[in-house]
Amino acid sequence: MAAVQSSLDRTITPDGNQGQYEAIESALDRSLFIVAGPGSGKTMVMALRVLKLIYVDKIDSSTILATTFTKKAAAELRSRILGWGDRLREAFIENPAYTDQLEALQSIDFNQIVTGTIDSISENILQEYREPGSPAPVIIEDFIANAMMVRYGLLRGHRYQNEDLKQYLKNLSGNTRGLNTGGMAGILLEIRDRICHDQVDIDAFCESGEDPGIEVACEAIRAYMRELEERLLYDYSQLEQEFYQKLLDGGLTEFTDKIRFVLVDEYQDTNLLQEHIYFELACHALQNGGSVTVVGDDDQSIYRFRGATVDLFTHFPARIQEALGVQPATITLSKNYRSTHTIVDCVEHYVACDENFQQARVAEKPAIQHARIGTQENIPILGMFREDIDTLAEDLSAFLRDVVDNGGVEITQNVTTYTLRIDADHGSSADICVLCSSPQEVKANGDPRLPYLLRHYLHTSPNPIDVFNPRGQQLKDIPEVQALCGLMLECIDPGCLVQNGIRNLPNDAQDTFSTWREAAHTYIQQHTEKHGEITLEEFVQGWQTRTPRKAFEQKREVPLLDLVYRLVTWIPAMQDDVEGLVYLEVITRTVTQSAVFTSFGSEIIFDANAPDLEGKSIKDAIRGIFIPLATGAIDINEDLLETIPNNRIPIMSIHQAKGLEYPLVIVDVGSDFKTDHHTQAFKRYPKEGGKTCRMEDELRAFSPLLVPQRPGVDRAFDDLIRQYFVAFSRPQDVLLLVGLNSVKDGYLTRGRRPNRKFIPNVATGWDRNDTWHWGQGLPNIVHL
Ligand SMILES: Nc1ncnc2c1ncn2[C@@H]1O[C@H](COP(=O)(O)OP(=O)(O)OP(=O)(O)O)[C@@H](O)[C@H]1O
């Protein structure tokens, strides 16, 4: 610990940081259950426990496996271990007390530690320890899984037209207007993932006879799984299943024989299949004389919709004792090193105010305490509420401009005045973050939402500030995407000859193709500049008339990726704008990945000896690339957003913000809520469990987990509380809540005798028994 203090500038003492100290210093064979609050240094504790095993217990680094839930968190954990590991090594090498250990110190290879998400670890281990001659697993991204479900689960066999299936998926999703093909595929994949994650007996589910749509859904899922198997492809669920199966069958003994330490962060988001994997790994670790450590915060479990089962964390000690006979020591980390006293108090008050929620938390969880070191101002919690969304966006933009550029904003509470200002030397607009339940920029009816208006007002000011919100719009509706996809279609299939010959072309895809092609024509007219000696119009004509020369190289196979890269030379927004680059990346990944499962590998074939191949390869590309893009089957994956530009204000969903911290965090607690409208209830004060809970209830009846004890509506409340708990615990210095006046003061109903009505909302301190703990007008915060 002395080296940690001198080299890493972290003081961890048995008195000052008891939980952290105990977790790091625990004996190597002591298994731990660490219940940690927000900002309590989970990642630091994990990294230092690993380094303690290596430096103090002299453990071989290749016997340690450390994993966490998201790619971002896994990368952060790895870089901490590597960075701190090296700094400590340098300090030991320079210290004369360790001269006799120089060789051992120099030989430590931190890269041998197995780190990553459970998916990346499964992939690497299956690849590294596979039988000689057997192929390495090929993993498909979610969007390809979706495209394959569209193609093999729905289009093939015309299941997308099956009324029983349509009705079943519609009921399950709660979508009142019905689903398009991409939407149906999305729900089917959610069912399929749950079958894997909850270890559901699919035969029993299929034969349950509760709804005629279930059988068709299972047929579609089985068709999709067969296709994966035949092509030796794995989606992420299947990858984990395969890893677990190989662990059970003893096919990975070379690996399991050496594993001694299993450490899992973010355990609150574990599903049953992952628990099986961790327990199997832990079983080997214990047999090899090591231990298992899990860290998590049940209050931050926000991935139920992806199969996370928080009970696996809250009941971890009993579950692992039953499975492996080990009794882990419970350690709590309740000190918060991130936020000011005011924010910590607000977060603690928030999480305690719903009495019913306490039953869903880890028993006897201690309150969060503030422990942030160094001088800091206790800026009050702020609120900005306005009559309408446009005024809110305009005023919020003006506030942000003042904070970033115009010398700051003064806030007075009682007699104290605070100045909010981005640090002129080290700060930037990226110190601010806007969190919403969804970063969508427009509503289904086309009306703008706060993210759209904020982008607009911030950008049109004299000193423009840019936002970063690539997930704000549907990919197919983004102008550059429309232009690029339209240009590609016009090049490969002029006059829609092949397109019109495709049977089962979904109507929504057909409509989108027409919009794209029109966008391409407009784009051609507006962009007359030359690239590589020709204009865009000449380039497209070259393709359309199949006159190679300048437009494309005379080859038998022309990769579509080449076409993409050539066309974007006329689309500057896709070359130098960070959001445009994300869109381009999604399209190129779609083209590359679809090559994995299409017959022509994302190439157009021009063969005079076999002229029919041209049409077939175009059809293949339309099916494999363009239909998924047009039907919403492909969306922007979160891992494409790992790097957030340092000169823009990120607008993100609360889920994306998990694990992050910012000096100033703005949380939208009600910019969409003008009235107490029932269609919005699920976002603020649920009346029922909703899609995720319905799916949980439906499928867990056939899983060892069994149907959840807590009613769906209570689980929906729990999830909303946790979501805003995560949001409110992200800021270091300032938390600003924004919304409409109706959310804080209520609104007047129409009619001859208007009546004041309030909008129950979990994010503004209502509990599920209709008590408003924060009160009318939100008097507990300072209003701007
Ligand atoms: N003992 C400590 N001394 C000083 N700073 C600390 C200490 N422990 C943690 N911190 C700091 O507190 C902040 C929060 O830590 P970290 O991000 O690891 O928390 P966390 O538990 O992962 O939080 P969350 O679950 O809310 O994402 C970080 O800035 C970290 O550097």
CA of 346 to the centre of ligand 1 (A): 18
CA of 409 to the centre of ligand 1 (A): 28
Contact 302, 719 (CB under 8 A): yes
Amino acid identity, position 743: V
The residues with which 652 forms a beta bridge, in sequence order, are 435
- In the listed set 195, 215, 234, which residue is the last one of a domain according to the structure? 234
Same domain, residue pair 265 and 221: no
Task: With respect to residue 421, please indicate whether it lies within any of the assigned structural domains.
Answer: yes
Give the global pTM.
0.91
**What pLDDT score was predicted for residue 103?**
86
CA of 309 to the centre of ligand 1 (A): 25
| Residue 182 is labelled as binding a ligand | no
From the alpha carbon of 38, which atom of ligand 1 is closest? 26
Same domain, residue pair 36 and 83: yes
Task: With respect to residue 342, please indicate whether it lies within any of the assigned structural domains.
Answer: no
The residues with which 265 forms a beta bridge, in sequence order, are none
CA separation (Å) from 200 to 194, 195, 206, 229? Answer: 7, 5, 11, 19
Task: With respect to residue 536, please indicate whether it lies within any of the assigned structural domains.
Answer: yes
525 HSE (CA, 13 A, CB side): 5
Backbone angles phi, psi at 335, to 5 degrees: -85, 135
Cα–Cα distance, 188 to 210 (Å, whole number): 17
From the alpha carbon of 333, which atom of ligand 1 is closest? 21
| Residue 58 is labelled as binding a ligand | no
3-state secondary structure 71-96: HHHHHHHHHHHHHHHHHHHHHHHHCH
Quick one: tokens of 483? 């232009």
CA of 73 to the centre of ligand 1 (A): 13
Identify the residue whose C-alpha is closest to ligand 1 atom 16.
41
CA of 38 to the centre of ligand 1 (A): 8
625: left (phi over 0), alpha (psi -120 to 50) or beta: alpha
pLDDT digits 0-9 by tens, 424-476: 788 888 899 999 988 999 888 889 999 999 999 999 877 889 899 888 888 89
Identify the residue whose C-alpha is closest to ligand 1 atom 30.
41
Cα–Cα distance, 508 to 487 (Å, whole number): 19
Same domain, residue pair 275 and 126: yes
| Residue 37 is labelled as binding a ligand | yes
CA separation (Å) from 408 to 400, 402, 435, 484? Answer: 9, 5, 21, 42
- In the listed set 269, 301, 333, which residue is the last one of a domain according to the structure? 333
CA of 386 to the centre of ligand 1 (A): 35
Q: Maximum Cα–Cα distance for the chain, whole Å?
A: 90
Same domain, residue pair 167 and 284: no
| Residue 42 is labelled as binding a ligand | yes
From the alpha carbon of 10, which atom of ligand 1 is closest? 3
From the alpha carbon of 12, which atom of ligand 1 is closest? 1
From the alpha carbon of 17, which atom of ligand 1 is closest? 1
Same domain, residue pair 778 and 652: yes
Closest CA to 317 of 362, 253, 258, 269: 362
Contact 664, 731 (CB under 8 A): yes
Contact 65, 281 (CB under 8 A): yes
Number of domains in the chain: 4
| Residue 39 is labelled as binding a ligand | yes
Same domain, residue pair 271 and 213: no
Cα–Cα distance, 91 to 88 (Å, whole number): 5
Task: Give residue 421's domain range.
Answer: 382-471+646-686+732-783
Strands 64-68 and 114-117: parallel
Backbone angles phi, psi at 729, to 5 degrees: -95, 10
Cα–Cα distance, 758 to 743 (Å, whole number): 7
CA of 481 to the centre of ligand 1 (A): 40
SS3 category, 665: strand
Identify the residue whose C-alpha is closest to ligand 1 atom 23.
39
ipTM for the assembly: 0.97
Helical packing angle, 560-567 and 479-492, nearest 10°: 130
Measured distance between the N- and C-terminal CA atoms of the chain, rounded to whole angstroms: 45
Q: Cβ contacts of residue 526 below 8 Å, gap of 6+?
A: none
Task: With respect to residue 502, please indicate whether it lies within any of the assigned structural domains.
Answer: yes
| Residue 40 is labelled as binding a ligand | yes
Task: With respect to residue 258, please indicate whether it lies within any of the assigned structural domains.
Answer: yes
How many helices (H) and strands (E) in the chain? Answer: 33, 25
Task: With respect to residue 345, please indicate whether it lies within any of the assigned structural domains.
Answer: no
CA 700 from chain centre, in angstroms, equals: 24
Same domain, residue pair 188 and 223: yes
Residues in the chain, pLDDT under 50: none
SS3 category, 417: strand
Cα–Cα distance, 358 to 351 (Å, whole number): 8
Note the residue count of the chain: 784
pLDDT digits 0-9 by tens, 210-262: 899 999 999 999 999 999 999 889 999 999 999 999 999 998 999 999 999 99
Contact 448, 441 (CB under 8 A): yes
Same domain, residue pair 126 and 175: no
Identify the residue whose C-alpha is closest to ligand 1 atom 6.
337
CA of 432 to the centre of ligand 1 (A): 19
Identify the residue whose C-alpha is closest to ligand 1 atom 28.
338
Pocket of ligand 1 (CB under 6 A): 10, 12, 17, 20, 36, 38-44, 297, 300, 337-338, 373, 659, 729
Same domain, residue pair 22 and 85: yes
Amino acid identity, position 765: G
Same domain, residue pair 488 and 618: yes
The neighbour count for residue 753, using CB atoms within 10 Å, is 5
CA of 338 to the centre of ligand 1 (A): 6
Identify the residue whose C-alpha is closest to ligand 1 atom 15.
41
- In the listed set 234, 253, 288, which residue is the last one of a domain according to the structure? 234
The secondary structure of residue 115, as a DSSP letter, is: E
Task: With respect to residue 724, please indicate whether it lies within any of the assigned structural domains.
Answer: no
Same domain, residue pair 618 and 661: no
Contact 224, 148 (CB under 8 A): yes
Q: Identify the residue whose tokens are 């509503």.
A: 443
Task: With respect to residue 414, please indicate whether it lies within any of the assigned structural domains.
Answer: yes
Q: Which of 40, 268, 336 to mutate to test the pocket of ligand 1 (most atoms within 8 A of CB)?
A: 40
Same domain, residue pair 671 and 773: yes
**What pLDDT score was predicted for residue 656?**
87
The residues with which 434 forms a beta bridge, in sequence order, are 651, 666
The neighbour count for residue 537, using CB atoms within 10 Å, is 14
